[in-house]
Chains A and B, each alone.
Chain A
């Protein structure tokens, strides 16, 4: 690596991919771009594992009887699906892959603030993943990803401690990434790049990092307490020993609700980049969109109790949490309106990333508004812990976050690898995912109001028609997800080579070569413009 980096100044062709070869040059790299790719590979693996579990869950639910798996197995399937998707895919996905790769490029830095810490984050993440995989192969865990006490701490007969340990370890990866991004955003910006000139993707990742740093340690200590309770029976959460299981829920949701914003905020950042580029416009209401990210990060910490309206928590606490939950929906709504308004009088093209962006706006709107159903206490009594909730958070997580992640990946792919994927196939995949997604999850809203509880292995026959629809949709969705994995890998070798700026996009990341040099910038650029300066480009085009 050292030899390669010395040569990079002289030969312009050398980039971060060719700066070193061999396993060592990857596993010991401190280059944020290579670390991003390490994350990309491991995240895709965990996503596939989680996806496989989803397929098995949907197959079981094709019929009301529990004919494919035993109850024990089914419970482990949905638990492992939740754990892998939440902790090992959704939480790290955009920050660790696109954030790691593009945050330094967007602010004109040669790397993140603490490159070695960054590599450590990946190792910690991978170690946590391996421990959790081991827990899975050792027999799995059946508590649901929420680990509610006292089931998790006293009654479950599965590998709770191992799985908890895996999540605990991975939490440090989140924390370290958050610390790194905060320091990077504060101190590594290029001259002239003021806060109000930052791309919205940077704002979104900054807000996300704040939540990671403030929230993750709380889940860490909670999970630690569950493990201690399970090992030693000290009475922290076990009511038989005087413990309070509701306290567990408070601590758990204090992290796990903000974690929803860890998952969606970076996706919103990607959205802003894509919408600006493909409408050829500055984002409508830039400052409001930037500030709404911070507002979500802060308000997001004040609403956790809306997960507990039927738990026995005080009614007055419920009122406060319900009202605050209505407030936190406002900044999200503002973002949706601003993206839509950005299209007004734009010059819109419909490349693959833009298709994902349009899908995101539609699905996230549904996901967000069904959140209002759940924040309304009286209605939540009925739909709490039913498939309505499952549908709601999949609309936000998959319809929002995964659509944004895929959109971002398609947007930045040519920059990351210097090659273009097959656009036709990519559009087919985007449409398949959109249709498959809706077919999978829309029926679940109806199932939820009908009263089908979540985490049910066998169910009432009245619910079968909608479950069959949902499983049919899942098969389309599954194929839709498999397609990009194929054509993206194919493009690495056979894709058409592209120039430095195939989308003619604004932003420092597009001013350097594709793929970027090892240290990004030969000279640190001086920034003199606002973000999304598409006016000049448009004037030149027409």
Chain B
């Protein structure tokens, strides 16, 4: 990359580090706005179909385990905490601690994936995967597949965002270990934190909308 005017962490087209940091932050915020709209499209579908087929949604929700969902919620909240601590560590210039905390975030994310794998496998086993393996037993609601289609699309998109998060964390974690961040220049860790908190936030909406419907509306039908 050409770097005609500056050396060090300041890119050629910025005047000061402060300007560079502010620019990165505003870029990430703008990107997160687009993420909100992306998930917003799916939430819009959810609202429409839940209104159209309330019984299918109740029945579908009863197939999901609020305990597993709850555990995953706690795990993700924990990962947000380690992420926030990683940002703090970077701010204080502790490179080892930063990398370690980012690593802990990844581990918690993988725990989430483990639970999710267990849940997905169980749905597959029960024939609750529309389009691929759809053979629900008993007398299922005729529109149950729409609930599960949305369940897999929404949680799947959320999981994809987590995978992207892992890739970014590997990148930022290695840079942290190599001492590329300092108390003046830790914006890379900070925007990664913003992204991860957003991914967490999406789950905070998904959990009650998917898992807690039957517990709430069906009077504990589960």
Contact = CB atoms under 8 A, between A and B. Distances in A.
Interface of A: 1-2, 5-6, 8-9, 30, 104, 109-117, 175, 178-180, 182-184, 186-188, 213-218, 220-222, 225, 228, 231-236, 241-244, 247, 250-251, 518-519, 524
B45 interface: yes
Report the contact-size class of chain B (Cβ under 8 Å from the partner): 35 or more
A2 B130 contact: no
A247 B45 contact: yes
Interface string B1-32: 11011000001110100010011101100110
A182 B41 CA distance: 22
B2 A5 contact: yes
B67 interface: no
A225 B92 CA distance: 44
A217 B12 CA distance: 31
Interface in B106-147: 130-132, 142-143, 145-146
B27 A113 contact: yes
Given A179-B34, A213-B30, A220-B38, A234 B2 contact: no
13 contacts: A111-B12, A114-B23, A183-B27, A214-B37, A217-B35, A217-B38, A221-B39, A236-B153, A242-B142, A247-B45, A251-B41, A518-B2, A518-B4
A235 B149 contact: yes
Contact of B34 (A1, A213, A234, A241): A213
A189 B19 CA distance: 10
Given A251-B41, A524-B15, A242 B143 contact: yes
Contact of A111 (B13, B26, B153): B13
Contacts of A6: 4
Contacts of B27: 113-114, 117, 179-180, 182-183
Contacts of A247: 44-45, 48
B146 A235 contact: yes
Contacts, number: 133
A187 B19 contact: yes
B54 interface: no
Contact of A234 (B12, B26, B41, B131): B131
Contacts of A111: 12-13
B40 interface: yes
Nearest to A187: B23
Contacts of B5: 110, 519
A411 B132 CA distance: 56
A209 to B, nearest CB: 8
Given A109-B13, A187-B26, A235-B130, A222 B41 contact: yes
A182 to B, nearest CB: 5
Contacts of B132: 232
A472 to B, nearest CB: 43
B23 A188 contact: yes
B52 interface: yes
Interface-central residue, B5, B40, B45, by most chain A CB under 10 Å: B45
A8 B3 CA distance: 12
Interface of B: 1-2, 4-5, 11-13, 15, 19, 22-24, 26-27, 30-31, 33-35, 37-42, 44-45, 48-49, 52-53, 130-132, 142-143, 145-146, 149-150, 153
A220 B30 CA distance: 17
Given A110-B12, A180-B27, A234 B149 contact: yes
Contacts of A216: 34
Contacts of A236: 45, 146, 149-150, 153
A222 B34 CA distance: 14
A236 B27 CA distance: 33
Contacts of A178: 30, 34
A215 B37 contact: yes
A189 to B, nearest CB: 10
Contacts of A5: 2, 4
A221 B41 contact: yes
Given A228-B153, A235-B145, A519-B13, A242 B53 contact: yes
Nearest to B18: A187
